[in-house]
């Protein structure tokens, strides 16, 4: 990216007249949702400009109103939301369009959507209709906004698909979204958004649902297209690394309010507001090993190395290798291939990899939540060695008191019809001879305090808690039966960055107090550096690299690990470089295996 920072930070109030490069002006935008419980000010007095060829990143945590801001510009705020004030002005060569004065259903605003201003969304999976071809969904834009005839439209779509680097556009144009990978779908989305050469591209967390390497490719693509067509990009994200990587200017939002704006350098190196400092601080903190971790490692080095608490040998898992009478014969998916790992007492072993690498399957197999196809799992618990593979259902239940799991989604992993007390006490009740009701109550109250909630919360239901609080409840549930090992599967991935470091610190405190061992499954290699002692990198079911977390993160030896690490955007605009990243090209046989 060419680094010109001539444009002064556009802190508002009403800088009339706009310069020639400004394509969209937003002033004092207010959007409110009238709910049963009152009026929610989703966007409260937000102002910014979008300039030709420049990228404005709107950054904030969930609930900050950044997505509603984007939808207000296009006037597609969902019910019962309403734009209640402010101005949105599109500057076209043929004159200004006062978007805020248009009826959201009028043909005037519809002529702007997809033509002058287009938008791409977070979920490439669900943002495309599953029952229409990719070609048709792109063509719709062309039908609406151009006079091209059928064959000219098809030609244009094939050009667009070619431009966003979708292979075989002549064929793939007639394919359906489910035949595309996640990254390809997002490319198709971009092709759709660019179909009519928009002046403004609004990208609402377009890479959040993607793997880091795919994210790097999509960011590269948007950058290239911006250089080529000179459109203004408004990029919404919660990831400070992405902001540092691509932004020219940054606007920080918090709870609907505009906290601070400025050039990317100013925001990262001289933030004025405490909230901005906190956001950057949380992101930067995760770049280094946690102080608690370092203390624990120093402590551990003094002690003689014991035997591993958990040993996995030659584990394999193949899904669905059988064929049906009339169906096509399946080859089966080799999700975990010949994996052997050891977990030491009090250690945190990170397992990182991209989606489909088999890391989640491995986590479930070693607890036998999935039945492994072959392999050994040996657990050295309080009562000696346990061969996990030979346990029956009943003794597995006892094992689950020692080996616990924390899940990714704090919303889906708590039963909405159980109170917090019931949820946390469940693993206690599942075991025989575990105290009376009062004892269980005391235990739950104690756990709630330890995870930073209040004992009086135990009568409430999960919906009364925020995402971060729910994840704390999930942790309390995992800790309830005094476990030895915790398998945390993407336990912090769904959380905002400020919450993420809080939850990781909480887990580290428990590890220090209770001598816990963690298996920490994550696609996010930055949290691994902060949280783990050792890390195993998985790629297509195999462990390609295993070593001390710092060594793997700082001096990776396997080409895939290098590619993975170099694709992670760093929260520092002076260290831009994902477009110079290593690319790991799998061998031809690997490619076939993934088909």
The answer to the question of residue 113 lying near another protein (CB under 8 A) is: yes
CB 379 within 8 A of CB 388: yes
Per CB under 8 A, which of residues 148..207 are in contact with another protein?
Answer: 176, 178-179, 189, 192
Tokens of residue 519, six digits:
């298996």
Task: Out of 21, 123, 224, 572, point to the residue binding another protein (CB under 8 A).
Answer: 123
User: 140 or 224: whose CB is closer to another protein?
Assistant: 140
| Count of residues that interact with another protein, criterion CB under 8 A | 35
Using CB under 8 A, pick the residue from 130, 304, 384, 416 that binds another protein.
130
Minimal distance, residue 104 CB to another protein, in Å? 10
Reading the block at residue 499, the tokens are 């919450």
3-class SS shares of the chain: helix, strand, coil, % to 5:
40, 25, 35
Per CB under 8 A, 129 contacts another protein: yes
**Binding residue (CB under 8 A) for another protein from 8, 76, 369, 551:** 76
Report the Cα–Cα distance between both ends of the chain, in Å, rounded.
Answer: 34
Q: Is residue 33 within 8 Å of residue 40, measured between CB atoms?
A: yes
Based on the shown chain and the rule CB under 8 A, indicate whether residue 141 belongs to the binding site for another protein: yes
Q: To the nearest whole angstrom, how small is the minimum distance from the Cβ of residue 166 to another protein?
A: 18
Q: DSSP states of 515-570 as a string?
A: T-EEEEEES-HHHHHHH-SEEEEEETTEEEEEEEHHHHHHS--SHHHHHHHHTSPP
Interacting span for another protein (CB under 8 A) from 52-60, 103-111, 274-282, 490-498: 103-111
**Binder among 21, 87, 140, 512 for another protein (CB under 8 A):** 140
Q: For another protein, which residue of 68, 128, 173, 447 counts as binding (CB under 8 A)?
A: 128
When asked if residue 365 is in the footprint of another protein (CB under 8 A), the reply is no
Token pair listed for 445: 């109250």
Distance of CA 585 to the CA centre of its chain: 24
Q: Considering beta carbons, is residue 141 or 357 the nearer one to another protein? A: 141
DSSP state at residue 113: B
389 touches another protein (CB under 8 A): no
Cα–Cα distance between 350 and 549 in angstroms, integer? Answer: 8
**Does residue 111 touch another protein according to CB under 8 A?**
yes
How far is it, in rounded angstroms, from Cα 415 to Cα 462? Answer: 8
Least distance from C-beta 386 to another protein, angstroms?
A: 41
Task: Name which position in 29, 89, 119, 335 contacts another protein (CB under 8 A).
Answer: 119
Site string for another protein, 312-331 (x = CB under 8 A): --------------x-----
378 binds another protein (CB under 8 A): no
Contacts of 399 (CB under 8 A, 6+ apart): 367, 379, 381, 386, 388, 391
Contact range with another protein by CB under 8 A, out of 43-51, 110-118, 336-344, 388-396: 110-118
Q: Does residue 63 come out as left (phi exceeding 0), alpha (psi in the -120 to 50 range) or beta?
A: left
In 191-256, the DSSP E strands lie at 200-204, 232-237, 249-254
Mark residues 478-517: x for contact with another protein by CB under 8 A, - for none: ----------------------------------------
Instruction: Report in angstroms the alpha-carbon separations of 433 from 255, 297, 428, 575.
Output: 48, 37, 9, 57
**Contacts to another protein by CB under 8 A:** 74, 76, 78, 105, 107, 110-115, 118-119, 121-123, 126-133, 137, 140-141, 144-145, 176, 178-179, 189, 192, 326
């Amino acid at each position: 990216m060419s680094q010109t920072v001539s444009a002064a930070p556009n802190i508002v109030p009403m800088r009339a007249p706009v310069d020639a490069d400004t394509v969209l002006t937003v002033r004092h935008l207010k959007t409110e949702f009238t709910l049963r419980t009152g009026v929610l000010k989703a966007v409260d007095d937000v102002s910014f400009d979008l300039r030709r060829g420049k990228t404005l990143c709107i950054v904030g945590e969930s609930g900050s109103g950044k997505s509603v801001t984007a939808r207000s510009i296009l006037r597609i705020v969902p019910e019962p939301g309403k734009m209640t004030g402010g101005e949105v002005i599109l500057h076209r060569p043929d004159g200004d369009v006062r978007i805020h004065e248009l009826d959201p259903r009028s043909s005037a605003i519809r002529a702007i959507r997809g033509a002058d201003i287009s938008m791409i969304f977070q979920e490439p999976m669900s943002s495309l209709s599953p029952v229409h071809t990719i070609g048709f969904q792109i063509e719709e834009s062309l039908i609406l906004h151009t006079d091209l005839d059928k064959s000219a439209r098809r030609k244009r779509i094939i050009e667009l698909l070619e431009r966003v680097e979708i292979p075989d556009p002549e064929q793939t144009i007639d394919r359906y979204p489910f035949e595309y990978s996640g990254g390809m779908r997002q490319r198709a989305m971009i092709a759709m958004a660019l179909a009519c050469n928009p002046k403004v591209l609004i990208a609402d967390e377009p890479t959040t649902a993607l793997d880091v390497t795919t994210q790097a490719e999509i960011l590269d693509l948007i950058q290239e297209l911006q250089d080529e067509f000179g459109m203004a990009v408004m990029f919404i994200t919660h990831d400070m690394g992405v902001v540092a990587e691509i932004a020219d200017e940054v606007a920080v939002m918090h709870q609907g309010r505009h906290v601070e704006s400025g050039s990317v350098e100013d925001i990262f190196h001289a933030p004025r507001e405490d909230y901005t400092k906190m956001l950057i601080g949380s992101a930067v903190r995760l770049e280094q090993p946690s102080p608690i971790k370092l203390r624990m490692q120093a402590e551990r080095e003094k002690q003689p190395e014991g035997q591993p608490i958990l040993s996995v040998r030659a584990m394999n898992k193949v899904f669905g290798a059988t064929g049906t009478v009339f169906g096509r014969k399946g080859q089966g998916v080799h999700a975990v291939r010949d994996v052997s790992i050891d977990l030491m007492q009090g250690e945190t072993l990170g397992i990182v990899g991209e989606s489909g690498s088999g890391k989640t399957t491995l986590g479930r197999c070693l607890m036998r939540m999935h039945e492994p196809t072959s392999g050994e799992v040996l657990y050295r618990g309080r009562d000696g060695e346990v061969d996990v593979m030979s346990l029956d259902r009943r003794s597995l239940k006892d094992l689950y008191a020692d080996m616990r799991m924390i899940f990714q989604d704090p919303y889906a992993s708590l039963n909405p019809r159980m109170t917090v007390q019931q949820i946390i006490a469940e693993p206690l009740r599942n075991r025989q001879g575990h105290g009376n009701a009062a004892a269980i109550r005391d235990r739950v109250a104690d756990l709630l305090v330890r995870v930073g909630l209040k004992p009086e919360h135990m009568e409430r239901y999960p919906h009364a808690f925020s995402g971060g609080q729910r994840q704390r409840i999930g942790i309390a549930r995992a800790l309830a039966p005094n476990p030895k090992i915790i398998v945390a599967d993407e336990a912090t991935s769904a959380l905002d960055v400020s919450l993420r470091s809080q939850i990781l610190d909480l887990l580290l405190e428990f590890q220090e107090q209770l001598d816990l061992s963690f298996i920490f499954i994550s696609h996010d290699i930055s949290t691994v550096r902060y949280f783990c002692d050792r890390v195993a990198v998985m790629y297509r079911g195999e462990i390609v690299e295993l070593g001390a977390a710092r060594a793997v993160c700082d001096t990776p030896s396997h080409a895939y690990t290098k590619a993975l690490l170099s694709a992670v955007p760093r929260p520092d605009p002076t260290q831009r470089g994902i477009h110079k990243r290593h690319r790991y090209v799998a061998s031809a046989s690997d490619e076939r295996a993934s088909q």
